A and B are shown apart, each in its own frame.
Chain A
Amino acid sequence: MSATPVLETDGLTLFFNSVAAFSDVSLSVDEGEIFAVIGPNGAGKTSLFNVISRVYRPARGTIRYLGADLLRLRRAQIAGAGIARTFQNLGLFGNLSVLENVLIGRHHLMRSGTLRGGLYLGFAQLEERSHRAAAMEALEFVGIAGVAHRPVHILPYGIQKRVELARALAMQPRLLLLDEPVAGMSTAERGEITTLIRRMHERGYSIVLVEHDMGMVMQVAQRVLVLDFGRVIALGTPGEVQRDPRVIKAYLGAQLEEEAAV
């Protein structure tokens, strides 16, 4: 493929007080691809998302987004650039309604300034209506339009996870960073979210997916990168990665440790 990758990192390294969270991570996500990042707990997956969203500054390495240097953007500009994320531990605004939670994702798309937006008149009102429609559409897409006016904190965990997905979609992103979208869900819910992610893929979004559910990763991802203790130990198609002896050893090691701890 000769097209510019959506996301490309080279030699990316992050330290937390001289301990490396991950080092020398080089990857490249193609347009429209579902690119999975897997690895045992503490491997550095969430930290990688945090570096891409400009929460942490990497010690070394480069990040290019659509060919441009991503490290030149500030954290609050990432959404406007077209990168949306969901959080492993939910990043919702508890006392706001579901619709408001989704609507806030469109803040960077709204034009009317503080004053006009504040006065809520004329143009601002028209604009407001179109943003509400877009937010509702995102809620419909993830299947929870029925709870749009409920405060988000009273809803079950599985629904809250969907609110995050809807908010990310409402941001009109090109690249989605999904951090464990099915963690803590029932088998039935997992199936539904997997279907949703497939449909997002059909819509053409580029997606980086962090997930512990191997079954799901193997079903949806085109390529998989495996991190272990912050190092890339494998990169390839789901089939290739599954057969890789280093991957088997890393996962088996983690499992043995867990058993020893019990």
Chain B
Amino acid sequence: MTTFYQLLFSGFALGCVYALVALGFTVIYRSSQVINFAQGSLLALGAYMVSWFAIDKSLPFGLAVLAAIGVCVLVGVVFQRLVLRWVAGQPVFVIVMITIGLSIVIDASVSAKFGANPRLLGDPWSSSAVHPGGVTLIWAKIWTIVTVFGVLLGFFLFDRYSRYGLAMRATAADEEAAMAVGVPTRRVFALAWGVAGAVATVGGFFLATFPNQLDPSISAVALLAFPAIILGGLDSPAGAVVGGVTIGLVEELTKGYQPAHASWLGTNFYVIAPYVVMILVLMVKPYGLFGRAPVERI
């Protein structure tokens, strides 16, 4: 039973990170029907910025995180205002290619500055842990869960009750009508990119905490969050969270139990398991658990 709780804990913590990454995708997709292929790179940039501010600039860790969030929000907003703004109305394919371009630029800049070797994150937790009832709870993961909950709560309150949250949801539903009723849609799109940058940073540095490390491969986590967003439904922030947590749990539980109980599935099956779950869900609900089928207008 201890093993089960252990796996539940680590799976939940991992799922929280996936939820944030998935939320980043969802916010952009909802506003412009574009899958942002730069989300993983933004996340890597965020994590490296935390490390840079905390270690090279010796800022206290909390401040380093805030400064890194600032950098990523800025990158997102500037990219939207300087680049995407001019291709508004182009086919989605074009915009997707441009996000791939951004991803290449960020990845190249990060490697040029920090190299390919693992780097210290500069977090205050390293491998410290508490052990209630024989279960090892790593502090970094406890903080992951607590912080991600805080961020998600903040996002949902903003989305649901604030003036700009309402403007974001309206713009997502019908951009033309939103403009006609006076919503500054350009600002709304910039805001979506800002939110994507902020959640990417928080997800990124938690992903680089013990037992993981910070190296350029961290940007690949975006691919792991993919089953989460498909599972939840591309345009649903709530779905992103449920999808993310589910995928995290599936991955850790498979990693823990499958080698002993279903070894015939081969080694590293936990890498594939999330995709298996994704395909099974899509067979039953093609638009994801929370996604809405497109409404045809007559």
Residues of chain A having any CB pair with chain B under 8 Å? 53, 55, 75-80, 84-85, 87, 89, 91-96, 100-101, 103-105, 107-108, 110, 112, 114, 117-120, 124, 128, 153, 167, 171
- Do A153 and B295 touch (CB < 8 A)? yes
- Do B164 and A96 touch (CB < 8 A)? no
- The range of chain B's interface size is 20 to 34
Instruction: Name A125's closest neighbour in chain B (CB-CB).
Output: B161
Q: Tell me the complex Cα distance, A13–B162, Å.
A: 41
| Dominant SS among interface residues on chain A | helix
Taking the closest CB of chain A, its distance from the CB of B193, in whole angstroms, is: 13
List 8 tightest A-B contacts by C-beta distance, closest first.
A79-B182, A91-B177, A108-B182, A93-B173, A117-B163, A118-B162, A93-B170, A104-B170
- Do B157 and A91 touch (CB < 8 A)? no
- Do B181 and A79 touch (CB < 8 A)? yes
- Do B182 and A96 touch (CB < 8 A)? no
- Do B163 and A76 touch (CB < 8 A)? no
> Which residues of the partner chain A approach B165 to less than 8 Å between Cβ atoms?
118
Instruction: Name A152's closest neighbour in chain B (CB-CB).
Output: B173
Taking the closest CB of chain A, its distance from the CB of B41, in whole angstroms, is: 25
Q: Tell me the complex Cα distance, A203–B80, Å.
A: 43
> Which residues of the partner chain B approach A91 to less than 8 Å between Cβ atoms?
174, 176-177, 180-181
Instruction: Name A87's closest neighbour in chain B (CB-CB).
Output: B177
Q: Tell me the complex Cα distance, A153–B297, Å.
A: 11
Can you list 18 A-B contacts with CB-CB less than 8 angstroms, sorted by A residue number? A55-B176, A75-B180, A79-B180, A89-B297, A91-B176, A94-B174, A95-B173, A100-B170, A105-B182, A107-B166, A107-B182, A107-B183, A114-B187, A117-B162, A118-B162, A118-B165, A119-B162, A120-B161
Taking the closest CB of chain B, its distance from the CB of A163, in whole angstroms, is: 12
- Do B174 and A53 touch (CB < 8 A)? no
Q: Tell me the complex Cα distance, A227–B292, Å.
A: 41
Please provide the chain B residues from 250 to 280 with a CB less than 8 Å away from any CB of chain A in the complex.
Answer: none
- Do A167 and B181 touch (CB < 8 A)? yes
Taking the closest CB of chain A, its distance from the CB of B203, in whole angstroms, is: 20
Chain B window 224-239, contacts with chain A (Cβ cutoff 8 Å), 1 for yes, 0 for no: 0000000000000000
- Do A76 and B182 touch (CB < 8 A)? yes
> Which residues of the partner chain B approach A120 to less than 8 Å between Cβ atoms?
157-158, 161-162
- Do A76 and B164 touch (CB < 8 A)? no
> Which residues of the partner chain A approach B170 to less than 8 Å between Cβ atoms?
93, 96, 100-101, 104
Chain B window 166-195, contacts with chain A (Cβ cutoff 8 Å), 1 for yes, 0 for no: 110110011011111111111100010000
Q: Tell me the complex Cα distance, A92–B170, Å.
A: 9
Instruction: Name B164's closest neighbour in chain A (CB-CB).
Output: A114
